[in-house]
Amino acid sequence: MKAIHLTAYGNPTQHLQMVEVAEPSAPAMGEVLVRMEYAPVDYSDLLLANGVYFLNPQLPSVIGGEGAGIVEALGPGVSNVKVGDRVTIPFRTFTWAEKVLAPADGLFVPDPFWSLAATAQRPPESVGTDSADARASEFSVVGTAPDGGPNPSQTRCDSSQQKSDG
């Protein structure tokens, strides 16, 4: 599956790479497997990539602090969500991958009338652009202004056009 790895701290334009990684294993106790639909670029992601945020994962690492997706599988003991629910991803679960394992107790099932962007970005007032029309093979990158307000910029990367080294 495709994911975006941070390979070194510093300039994100030089150290973020789309890579092929193994799909996550089956969810463990209290976890769910989520197929990501939307994972915006947030100001905190840029701080993390530059090495000036309080989270410093061991590199290379997937990053991305917000997102929304569809629950694909439940681990033992999970009862607060069901397969098929659209959920927001809890803090400390990195989202720039096609699928992620997330702790079930941190998931939130939003109102079904929320846009995909509103679901992914918290609080809903900071919503930028909705990319609900993106094809399954696309990664959408939507920006918000540093103050959390809307920024109408949006970039799509059609991952079906990406070449793999492997």
* Structural domains of the chain sorted by starting position, each given as residue range(s) with its CATH number in brackets: 24-55+64-159 (3.90.180.10)
The CA radius of gyration of the chain, in Å to the nearest whole number, is: 15
Return the minimum-mean-pLDDT range out of 12-26, 97-111, 145-159: 145-159
Mean pLDDT over all residues of the chain?
A: 78
Whether the predicted pLDDT of 88 surpasses 80? yes
Residue 43 annotated among the catalytic residues of the structure: no
Share of the chain above pLDDT 90, in %: 56
Token couple for 157: 């990367």
Q: Kindly report the three-state secondary structure assignment for every residue of the chain.
A: CEEEEECCCCCHHHHEEEEECCCCCCCCCCEEEEEEEECCECHHHHHHHHCCCCCCCCCCEECCCCCEEEEEEECCCCCCCCCCCEEECCCCCCCCECEEEEEHHHCECCCCCCCHHHHHCCCHHHCCCCCCCCCCCEEEEEEECCCCCEEEEEEEEEHHHCCCCC
Averaged pLDDT for residues 140-154: 44
pLDDT value, residue 140: 45
pLDDT band, residue 119 (cuts 50/70/90): low
CB-based contact 57:94 (threshold 8 Å):
yes
- Give the model confidence (pLDDT) of 45-77 as tens digits: 999 999 999 999 999 999 999 999 999 999 999
Say which residue, 112 or 137, is predicted with more confidence: 112
Query: Which whole number is the average pLDDT over 113-127?
Result: 54
Catalytic residue among 9, 38, 43, 53: 53
User: Quick one: which of 117, 122, 118 has its CA closest to 106?
Assistant: 122
Predicted confidence band of residue 120 (pLDDT cuts 50, 70, 90): low
The pLDDT of residue 142: 46
* Residue matched to tokens 């997706």: 69
pLDDT score for 134: 41
- pLDDT tens-digit profile of 39-50? 999 899 999 999
